[in-house]
Structure 1
Amino acid sequence: MSVTTSTDIRRVAGSLGAEITGIRLGPDLPDADVADIRAAILEHKLVVFRGQDHLDDRAHAGFVRRLGPLTTAHPTITGGQEEAAILPVDSEHGNKANSWHTDVTFVDRPPAFTTLRAVVLPPFGGDTLFADTARAYAKLPAGLRSLADGLWAEHSNDYDYATTHATEGPTGATAAYHQEFTATVYRTHHPVVRVHPETGERVLQLGQFVSRILGVNGQDSRDLLALYQRHITRQENIVRWRWSPGDFAVWDNRATQHYAVDDYDDLPRKMHRVTVAGDVPVSVDGRRSIAVEGDAGAYAGA
């Protein structure tokens, strides 16, 4: 990587993840630097920059715009920030992403890149795990790859709450967040394996928003989901990032899943998220994802 003579890039795990040092992020970075950062994201799938305390919401969004057009904060949740693209991920409002997922797969154009800036961190815990869904696919036995290539799944923003909280139901801040999150229901049919539009890699597209595998019965659907999800989250496909003040992370949302570990009791943890608009996933045989319910055009900038 040749961002500047003082810049260094260090891999942090065998499968994915790199730390880039010696650069100050902002909307005015030279084009060559932005291109090199973008290439690093595609290569390592997750890159983290430390010491970016100078960034505020405007500078955060301004830098991310250099990577591509932005989505709105969320299809259903109002960011409530001066910068409209900012989504606060705030534990005090019941917003905890403590399940394996790829961001916003319940719409037909999930984000291409996700960025997260540490705003308030607990004194312990609150790490984020990232999984490489391209490596997970590549390491599958040939028969399981062939089977996955032909499978499709339904993703919905209502499904994960309906199952995770089926016994007791969400309460308090979590209930309010759930109500806003599902204010408009989205359902989309995606291929279980999509072809990455920039790298050409085949990646598994699953996670918490999947309600079922199409064309198979309930138990078989659950078994297939568990099988492929287990391969995605094998230890050799994962990196764990321990956040520090000033950390700024960017990951390829098309080739990863992530999980924010809820192990910091009731202490505050607040991150600000900005996402880059993506395109409609395409299966290995060239078919495009289909929006079944809900129009996410305004969110995705269509």
Structure 2
Amino acid sequence: MSETALIDNVIPPSDVLKCSARIGAEVRNIKLSGDLPAQTIAAINGVLLEHKVIFFREQRHLDDAELERFALRFGKLMPHPTAAVSKGTASIIEIDSTRPHSRADVWHIDVSFVEAYPKICMLRSPVIPAFGGDTVWSNTAAAYLDLPPPLQRLADELWAVHGNAYDFAVTARPSEADKKHFDEVYTRTIYETEHPVVRVHPETRERTLVLGNHVLRFVGIPKFDGQRLFDLFQSYVTAAENTVRWKWKEGDVAIWDNRATQHKGVNDYGDQHRVLCRATVEGEVPASVDGRCSVTRIKATKQPLANVI
């Protein structure tokens, strides 16, 4: 029996509603939990690989602990390397709009500044504003296929340095509290990792673009030329036809393949309260089209100011 047939036997095709032609699907009639049968977990993973990001409405029964139990069914959990996790959990990050550096309103791959960044990320939505606050995802495999063949060949050869100490002041319109959190918490440990601009997905074998706001520079390319290359390739990622926008309702859960997508939160909800809770599953070290693997070049913890001469 084919993988598609196995999935269809567990999740009927009528329960998978596509959100757009290239990315995103809503999955109905599944109550998420850590106790789901193995076949159901495998079917969810299959639907995820096909649609890149999938959505489940009305999962209000989930709390952090149960979301974590569910996430564990997909692999080892990965705590954020620079942010504190919620009490009593191994990997849950609470993204609360009232806290500094929490709106993530630039296109990014979660934690791409480390070698084995998460393969799967999940968000649940306990507090949603009355308007605004949507999240947008893009399909980076479709973006690669949209590149003209000469640009595909160029991208195949390029490597980029990803870091957590990016130009935050320019890209995120920060408040003073945002800047303080970025300097003292988010970049307390500095990471710089070289990734191929094109990685081969370990499960689908698709080629996906590895870019986003954590890119600091291209290896061997002057900064000015590198910025123009970045803008060119990134424009294919963020093209409207490669994206899906999800309007949250309380209790929704989104699951995305972090190896084949970028995403951003839309910062259009003003001072309203918005809380999302995220779990992450450890991923593989990316491999380029010629089989070379990503490598971390810098990992350094800032010294306390009292120790700096």
Smaller-chain TM-score range? over 0.9
Measured in 1, the distance between the counterparts of 2:183 and 2:47 equals 35
Measured in 1, the distance between the counterparts of 2:57 and 2:87 equals 24
Measured in 1, the distance between the counterparts of 2:175 and 2:98 equals 14
Q: Give the residue type in structure 2 aligned to 1:158.
A: A
Measured in 1, the distance between the counterparts of 2:298 and 2:257 equals 26
1:77 matches 2:83: yes
Q: C-alpha displacement at 1:169, in angstroms?
A: 6.2
Q: Give the residue type in structure 2 aligned to 1:139.
A: D
CA RMSD in angstroms, aligned pairs only? 1.7
Asked if structure 2 preserves the Cα contact closer than 8 Å seen for 1:92 and 1:173, the reply is no
Q: 1:142 to 1:31 in 2, by over 3 A?
A: same
Q: C-alpha displacement at 1:173, in angstroms?
A: 4.8
1:250 matches 2:245: no
Asked if structure 2 preserves the Cα contact closer than 8 Å seen for 1:6 and 1:22, the reply is no
Q: Give the residue type in structure 1 aligned to 2:289.
A: V
Measured in 1, the distance between the counterparts of 2:202 and 2:300 equals 22
Measured in 2, the distance between the counterparts of 1:195 and 1:49 equals 28
Q: 1:14 to 1:178 in 2, by over 3 A?
A: farther
SS in 2 for 1:246: coil
Q: 1:120 to 1:169 in 2, by over 3 A?
A: closer
- Pick one of 274, 279, 287 that aligns with 1:274: 279
Measured in 2, the distance between the counterparts of 1:44 and 1:78 equals 30
Structure 1 runs, 4 residues or longer, greater than 6 Å off: none
Q: How many residues align?
A: 293
Asked if structure 2 preserves the Cα contact closer than 8 Å seen for 1:170 and 1:178, the reply is no
Q: Give the residue type in structure 1 aligned to 2:130.
A: P
Q: C-alpha displacement at 1:45, in angstroms?
A: 0.5
Asked if structure 1 preserves the Cα contact closer than 8 Å seen for 2:137 and 2:261, the reply is yes
Please, what TM-score do these two structures have when normalized by structure 1? 0.93
Asked if structure 2 preserves the Cα contact closer than 8 Å seen for 1:161 and 1:178, the reply is no
- Gapped runs of 5+ residues in structure 2? 1-7, 302-309
Asked if structure 1 preserves the Cα contact closer than 8 Å seen for 2:189 and 2:300, the reply is no
**Equivalence for 1:237:** 242
Q: Give the residue type in structure 2 aligned to 1:284.
A: V
- Gapped runs of 5+ residues in structure 1? 297-302
Measured in 2, the distance between the counterparts of 1:16 and 1:266 equals 30
Measured in 2, the distance between the counterparts of 1:21 and 1:295 equals 45
Q: How high is the sequence identity, in percent, across the aligned residues?
A: 45
1:180 matches 2:188: no
